[in-house]
Amino acid sequence: MSAQSPIVDSSSAFIGFNELVGLLHAVFMKHGTSPEVAQVLAHNCASAERDGAHSHGIFRIPGYVSTLDSGWVDGKATPVVTDVASGFVRVDAANGFAQPALAAARALLVDKARSAGIALLAIHNSHHFAALWPDVEPFAEQGLVALSVVNSMTCVVPHGADRPLFGTNPIAFAAPRADGAPIVFDLATSAIAHGDVQIAARKGERLPPGMGVDSLGQPTQDPKAILEGGALLPFGGHKGSALSMMVELLAAALTGGNFSFEFNWADHPGARTPWTGQLLILIDPSKTAGQNFAERSQELVRQMHAAGLRRLPGDRRHRTRAKSLEAGIEVDAHALNQLREWAV
């Protein structure tokens, strides 16, 4: 089966990665983005779908479309990059998406990390509506260590509190290793990602215990009850809550972005993207003493496997990626048809 020729039956479709990127690019352009922004977002979204991260793949497109149509985000924004200090880059995303802001600062950030050994990127006035691992994985492929955090909209009750305050506030990390793909993980500090709750609600599935509460603050396994007036819980109780607080401080307070509770999209019906901030720290491990970092990473992986670990973080994504690139990306046929309608 050709990965470049979509094959559609009554329930599913297979489409090549480049073709999906092109289709998504057309959708974003149709709904008001610049070609440059469309390319960045299309590649990001298609990459998530290719790797099986369905909650951040084409499932997100209706939210992108309604947000762009609402005027909440500027799809043609030009990021303003400021060289603040030897290891500090600041970007005003100009009420645009965070990924184009990162792309605009990437070369300068890498140069600073190579020179100083470490560099920090602070993005504010930005909207992040995607998986976070695509933001860090490319740096690890260049031999660098990357850590990024982004805060989202209020939907998580801090441990011990009685109302939502934090966002799902993900943390992503990527590190190179010898003889293998980079070590990459991306996790929400909530017990479950908000997108996964939406997918469960759409499918009529129940959630595991401990994921969230209903509008009365009572524990629930009903995803609709969480989405309709309820809230998510942090993972690991007070530990996840502390990490979520840390993300708010790093991604919002340190960058100049909004906290998860500081923006209001009530005047923009259809808006879905959090207007917050993002922090990314980049480290050049070649500056450290001792053995080659990638070889040390590989040794850790060997020992983890020897201890009985069968799957590393990111392994499933890489297997799905290989399958998708060989046979095509399997997507819902109805969703694919909807994309084609939005693109014209």
Catalytic residue selected from 51, 135, 186, 196: 196
**pLDDT digit string, tens, across residues 34-73:** 999 999 999 999 999 999 999 899 999 999 999 999 999 9
Mean pLDDT of the chain: 94
**How many Å apart are CA 83 and CA 99, to the nearest integer?**
18
Query: Residue 86: helix, strand or coil by DSSP?
Result: coil
Query: pTM of the predicted model, to two decimals?
Result: 0.92
Q: How confident is the model over 255-302, as pLDDT tens digits?
A: 999 999 999 999 999 999 999 999 999 999 999 876 799 999 999 999
Which of the residues 25, 43, 56, 124 is marked catalytic?
Answer: 56
CA distances from 318 to 80, 118, 170 (A): 34, 28, 20
Environment class of 229 (CB within 10 Å of its CB; exposed 0-12, middle 13-18, buried 19+): exposed
Do residues 190 and 171 make contact, with C-beta atoms less than 8 angstroms apart? no
Q: Is 186 one of the catalytic residues?
A: no
Q: Which has more confidence, 98 or 196?
A: 98
- 150's enclosing H/E stretch is strand 145-150
Determine the pLDDT at residue 288: 87
Q: Delineate the domains of the chain, giving CATH numbers in brackets.
A: 1-70+328-344 (1.10.1530.10), 79-188+237-312 (3.30.1370.60), 191-233 (3.30.60.50)
Count of C-beta atoms within a 10 Å radius of residue 264:
10
Select from 177, 178, 168, 170 the least CA-distant residue to 280.
Answer: 170
Residue scoring higher pLDDT (7 or 77): 77
Percent of the chain with pLDDT over 70: 97
Token code pair at residue 225: 């009850």
**Phi, psi angle pair for 190, to nearest 5°:** -85, 165
196 noted as active-site residue: yes
**In the chain, what are the helix, strand and coil shares in percent, each to the nearest 5?**
40, 20, 35
Side-chain half-sphere CA neighbours of 282 within 13 A: 31
Note if 194 is an active site residue. Answer: no
Cα-based distances in Å from 228 to 210, 213, 223: 17, 10, 9
Among 1-5, 59-63, 184-188, 214-218, the least confident range: 1-5
Instruction: List the catalytic residue out of 12, 55, 66, 70.
Output: 55
**CA separation for the pair 122, 282 (Å, rounded):** 11
First to last CA, the chain: 27
